[in-house]
Amino acid sequence: MKIAFIGLGIMGKPMAKNLLKAGHELYVFDRRPETMEEMRDAGAHLCASSSETVKDVDLVITMLPNSPHVKSVMLEDDKLAEKMPRTAVFIDCSSINPDASREIAAALEKLGIEMLDAPVSGGQPKAVDGTLAFMVGGKQEVFDRFKPVLEAMGSSVVLCGDVGAGNVTKLVNQSIVAVNIAALAEGMQLGQMCGVEPQKIFEAIKGGLAGSTVMNAKAPMMMDQNFAPGFRIDLHIKDLNNIVDAAKTVDAPIPLSQMVLEMMKVLHHDGDGSCDHSALLKYYQKLSGEVLHH
């Protein structure tokens, strides 16, 4: 399948490479020469502009930071929706506000273009090994046609409802992940301050009810003080702000999400916005004056 891939960042680049490994023909453009060289070496067709990527494709995929970026690329500045074939389909893998997904889908519908919103969970490690979880919104027949493409990048691909449902589900995911990481950091810090080695705590509870994918991924990072980003604090702040906006529209109570958002804002102002979200531990270390260790 001929695919235009827009957004070759920390997540998009490995996702695009997995599409190439699956045998798809990829058309890409990026302003960073080193990224273009890397994608050329991986087998992608390099284009002179984003508009050129969509000229003769079956599918356009975006993996961008937030709602304004997707709107800019598809509808406002680059206007790729007007330049892509009417027979092509648009899949947005960005994590954005569900209302924005529906707005973009409505604009595309006027042009006769179908859309799926398909945000992902799993961070950079799962983007690299092709085991992301896709939460998808859109029509069943469109989903069925393009599910194999998403399966080239993920191990779980689930249709959650109409367009927008994918991003609603992603917001739920991000709320649970944020609160889980905060609880993990709080518990590990408490245990060490009470005199028990963090590694022993991790080994003892990871197989019990408190165990989770979050714990397995983030506890070792916390003990190593390794906050190299798989998913940055600033991106999680973006998602939590979208959660707040979505909650307001339906009057949903989200006290835990709002609390973690405030914690992450503190880290952002401390200069840690580019750290992995496991750096929530730094919030507790700042309050306690004690650094977690193995």
Can 170 be counted among the known catalytic residues?
yes
Position 143 in a domain:
yes
Same domain, 249 and 204: yes
From CA 261, how far away is CA 24, in angstroms rounded? 39
Query: What mean pLDDT is predicted for residues 63-79?
Result: 96
Structurally, the chain folds into a number of domains equal to 2
Same domain, 117 and 246: no
Same domain, 177 and 191: yes
Which pLDDT score, from 0 to 100, does residue 115 have? 98
Q: Which residue among 170, 218, 238, 282 is the active-site one?
A: 170
The encoded tokens of residue 94 equal 């960005």
From CA 192, how far away is CA 196, in angstroms rounded? 5
Residue 243 sits in a domain whose CATH number is 1.10.1040.10
For 230-251, the pLDDT digits (tens) are 889 999 999 999 999 999 999 9
Position 23 in a domain:
yes
Position 274 in a domain:
yes
The Cβ of residue 224 has, within 10 Å, a number of other Cβ atoms equal to: 13
Which pLDDT score, from 0 to 100, does residue 230 have? 84
Phi, psi of 104 (to 5 degrees): -65, -45
How many residues are listed for the chain in this entry?
294
Residue 140 sits in a domain whose CATH number is 3.40.50.720
Same domain, 178 and 255: yes
Residues 6+ apart with CB under 8 A from 76: none
Domain-ending residue, one of 147, 162, 177: 162
Taking each continuous run of H as one helix and of E as one strand, the counts in the chain are 14, 9
Same domain, 15 and 53: yes
Same domain, 179 and 239: yes
Residue 272 has pLDDT above 90, yes or no: yes
Which pLDDT score, from 0 to 100, does residue 81 have? 97
Residue 294 has pLDDT above 90, yes or no: no
Same domain, 61 and 152: yes
Domain range holding 236? 168-288
Same domain, 135 and 175: no
Which pLDDT score, from 0 to 100, does residue 123 have? 87
Whether pTM exceeds 0.85: yes
Same domain, 7 and 144: yes
Domain-ending residue, one of 134, 162, 190: 162
Q: Which amino acid is at 243?
A: I
Position 284 in a domain:
yes
Interstrand relation of 154-161 and 45-46 (parallel, antiparallel or unpaired) = unpaired
**279 closest CA partner among 168, 184, 145:** 184
Domain-ending residue, one of 162, 190, 215: 162
Round the average pLDDT of the chain to a whole number and report it: 97
For 36-64, the pLDDT digits (tens) are 999 999 999 999 999 999 999 999 999 99
For 134-152, the pLDDT digits (tens) are 999 999 999 999 999 999 9
Same domain, 150 and 217: no
The rounded percent of the chain whose pLDDT value lies above 70 is: 100
Query: What mean pLDDT is predicted for residues 80-87?
Result: 97
From CA 286, how far away is CA 266, in angstroms rounded? 10
Position 294 in a domain:
no
Q: Supply the Cα-derived Rg of the chain in whole angstroms.
A: 20
From CA 261, how far away is CA 242, in angstroms rounded? 11
Which pLDDT score, from 0 to 100, does residue 78 have? 96
Compute CA distances 211 → 10, 181, 208, 225, whole Å: 27, 12, 5, 20
Same domain, 130 and 193: no
Same domain, 126 and 155: yes
